[in-house]
Structure 1
Amino acid sequence: MHSRLTAILIALSAAALFGATTPIAKALLGAMPPFMVAGLFYLGSGIGLGAVIVCRRLARAASAADGSGLRMPELPWLAGAIVAGGVAGPALLMLGLASTPAATSSLLLNLEGVLTAAIAWIVFRENVDRQVLLGMAAIVAGGVVLSWPTDSTAGSGVSGGALLIVLACACWAIDNNLTRRISTADATVIACAKGLAAGATNLGIALAMGAHLPAPQDIIAAMTTGFGGYGVSLVLFVIALRHLGTARTGAYFSVAPVFGVALSLAMWPRAPGAAFWIAAGLMALGVWLHVRERHEHEHTHERLEHTHRHTHDEHHRHEHAFPYSGDEPHTHPHVHLPITHSHAHFPDIHHRHPHKPG
């Protein structure tokens, strides 16, 4: 199992890669329609990760695979994640970006983390502490300030574009919670499957609407951006889901707009308005509250049998039914016996236990 710090750094790295795609997508929208951008982003992700998988297998590095393959009961969860996060989400984002400043769009994407945590808490009953709730409230307040119509933006379509981006965040929040259900599987395989399916769907829609493939340099730029910002980012996000839980991973992922803002202001230099800075302050407060949250209590692990990449830490004290060379981390089916103890933890794949009210 990754340490807490390593898992947090993985989540932040995923956020950095994804956040940087927003201003680049804004620039590419001048050369191609929204569905074309989304399609090429995801195809770049799927094809790039597919190449990684092939190279990994050719190098006979199967033992280094991150987790296990997908099983039949997990395929419906993957399909739902693809529809919500791979088809609807990016299309709504691209349409929203067409009428919303890149810096504003980047900050508004913080709402994905809030909605992710809300669904995890309300629907999947994942524990969310009071401090996380306060952080969510601060991020929501920042989003309201950012999208509230003013005299200077009422007729420019900014608020309409902001609404589309909020809807995109809702789609990705659903995607995140569905992906959490399959987070023990190979993260690269999950991200590759989502990229290929979502890319083909969005590209097909674009072509059916009369769009034409852009210039080769634009295709390369979009697919390269998609490989890093959607592909590698998603691999890291799935790994973080495995070790932090859905709500906490969504919270750390909320820092993605910081990287988007920095890049967008470098690409289109201008002085942001007062609402931008108020929203930025509220969202920064929310992220800070999430980062400093600590959850510790006595808890009981019930018997659990599953497969994922692991090292022999306090939660993995098991025997091996095969010749074991001592190499770690490694992947194989293993059983967790019941144990009661107390330590700081997140609702990861080993700590999805109920909590007493209050």
Structure 2
Amino acid sequence: MSGKNDQSPRFPGVPFALGAALLFGATAPVSKLLIGFVDPWLLAGILYLGAGIGLAAVHWGRASLGFANVEAPLTKSDLPWLAAVVLFGGMLGPLFLMFGLSLTTAASGSLLLNLEGLATMVIAWVVFRENVDRRLLLGAAAILCGAVLLSWNGEGLSLDAGGLLIALACLCWGIDNNLTRKLSSADPVQIAMIKGLVAGCTNFGLALLVGATLPSVGLIFSGVVAGFLGIGVSLVLFMLGLRHLGTARTGAYFSLAPFIGAALALLLFHEGLTPQFIIAGLLMAFGLWLHLTEHHDHWHDHGILEHEHAHIHDEHHQHHHDEPVTEPHSHWHRHEPMRHKHPHYPDLHHRHGHT
């Protein structure tokens, strides 16, 4: 292969997934700065509204400014998946988390939140049959162990009613992450915008209903900006990662978010560097190295496939256009049967089974 086909299968999926983890991880210390002045439930609503409003500005602004949108639009067949994503990830997950945190200790809640990454990967491997080998399992286990160690403060894990609700929230987000893969060929800005607006309005309204008071305009603006970057842009990057890497691998990279948040907290709050942090960092670095050095290369068959998504004319896209086109572009196209061998991940075109 040559030219466009020489591009590493890690690019751009891995940078997208790591970028999502970086931005989402940064929201933790930023939220910690705001939480002393804003009701936690209301802050969740403000963050999601910030994501939705910011991405709405991007979605409609690019058209008004004359920037071409190369992504595939949502279709009627996407709506059931979108509704499920909004329900599980935007509404049920945050609600279970808020009620759970009110009924259990902060230490237990912090530990249990690591179940999201585990739920995401297990559902991807068991339900959706994504390819996994011992190397990937070991890497995922190292990353998750590092995340657990990072949030452990010696108080132990409490599986009371609050803990069960937090575990249920993580299950909802694991389902959400896997269902979002079904939408990964469509415009991620449009999807994240809808999810942010629905989830933000829901949490914001419920928080006010139970007695939360509005903070100052400055604090609201800070929360909106943090939500746009840490939830909105992060979610867009996460969905682009899903498109190129599949759910399990994107979920594993995204599990680095707690370490990123803790590292930023060291800088923001001048917290001491502990042996616990160093060991967690080494575990996560080892897991990341195992995933980055994965080499999945074998002969595989592509069946007939028709779909729409942003693409360039690479080895998998050899269709003809009557008129000159720019790349990338998006349109409905057909893939003819093909058999070949090259390094790949379970992206949009490589979701085949393995024996």
TM value normalised by structure 1: 0.87
Shift of 1:292: 1.6
Shift of 1:115: 2.6
Report what 2:338 is aligned to: 339
Query: Deviations for 1:50-91, whole angstroms, at most 9, x for unmatched residues?
Result: 111111121343xx3242121222212112212222223345
Report what 2:93 is aligned to: 89
Aligned partners of 1:70, 1:260: CA distance in 2, in Å? Answer: 33
Query: Deviations for 1:191-248, whole angstroms, at most 9, x for unmatched residues?
Result: 1010001001111110111112111111001011000011111111111111111111
Q: How does 1:322-333 map to 2 (within 5 A)?
A: 323-333=322-332
Shift of 1:302: 0.4
Instruction: Decide which moves more: 275-284 or 298-307.
Output: 275-284
Report what 1:294 is aligned to: 295
Aligned partners of 1:182, 1:13: CA distance in 2, in Å? Answer: 20
Report what 1:40 is aligned to: 46
Shift of 1:13: 1.3
Aligned partners of 2:208, 2:85: CA distance in 1, in Å? Answer: 23
Report what 2:119 is aligned to: 115
Aligned partners of 2:70, 2:259: CA distance in 1, in Å? Answer: 28
Shift of 1:147: 5.5
Q: Structure 1's 22 and 93: CA in aligned 2 closer, same or farther, altered over 3 A?
A: farther
Q: Structure 1's 280 and 251: CA in aligned 2 closer, same or farther, altered over 3 A?
A: same
Report what 1:262 is aligned to: 263
Query: Deviations for 1:144-166, whole angstroms, at most 9, x for unmatched residues?
Result: 5456663xx369x9x99988766
Do the aligned residues in 1 keep the contact of 2:131 with 2:346 (CA within 8 Å)?
yes
Do the aligned residues in 1 keep the contact of 2:49 with 2:201 (CA within 8 Å)?
yes
Do the aligned residues in 1 keep the contact of 2:18 with 2:253 (CA within 8 Å)?
yes
Answer yes or no: is 1:28 the counterpart of 2:27: no
- What amino acid sits opposite 2:354 in the alignment? H
Report what 1:53 is aligned to: 59
Aligned partners of 2:278, 2:122: CA distance in 1, in Å? Answer: 25
Aligned partners of 2:8, 2:328: CA distance in 1, in Å? Answer: 13
- What amino acid sits opposite 1:50 in the alignment? A
Instruction: Decide which moves more: 10-19 or 225-234.
Output: 10-19
Matched residue SS, 1:293:
coil
Q: Structure 1's 88 and 266: CA in aligned 2 closer, same or farther, altered over 3 A?
A: farther
Do the aligned residues in 2 keep the contact of 1:96 with 1:163 (CA within 8 Å)?
no
- Give the RMSD, CA atoms, in angstroms: 2.9
Identity value in percent: 52
- What amino acid sits opposite 1:12 in the alignment? L
Do the aligned residues in 2 keep the contact of 1:109 with 1:257 (CA within 8 Å)?
no
Do the aligned residues in 1 keep the contact of 2:143 with 2:252 (CA within 8 Å)?
no
- What amino acid sits opposite 1:232 in the alignment? V
Report what 1:78 is aligned to: 82
Matched residue SS, 1:307:
strand
Matched residue SS, 1:120:
helix
Shift of 1:280: 3.4
Q: Which runs of 5+ in 1 are unaligned?
A: none
State the aligned residue count: 346
Matched residue SS, 2:145:
helix
Aligned partners of 1:154, 1:167: CA distance in 2, in Å? Answer: 19
Do the aligned residues in 2 keep the contact of 1:306 with 1:333 (CA within 8 Å)?
yes
Matched residue SS, 1:20:
helix
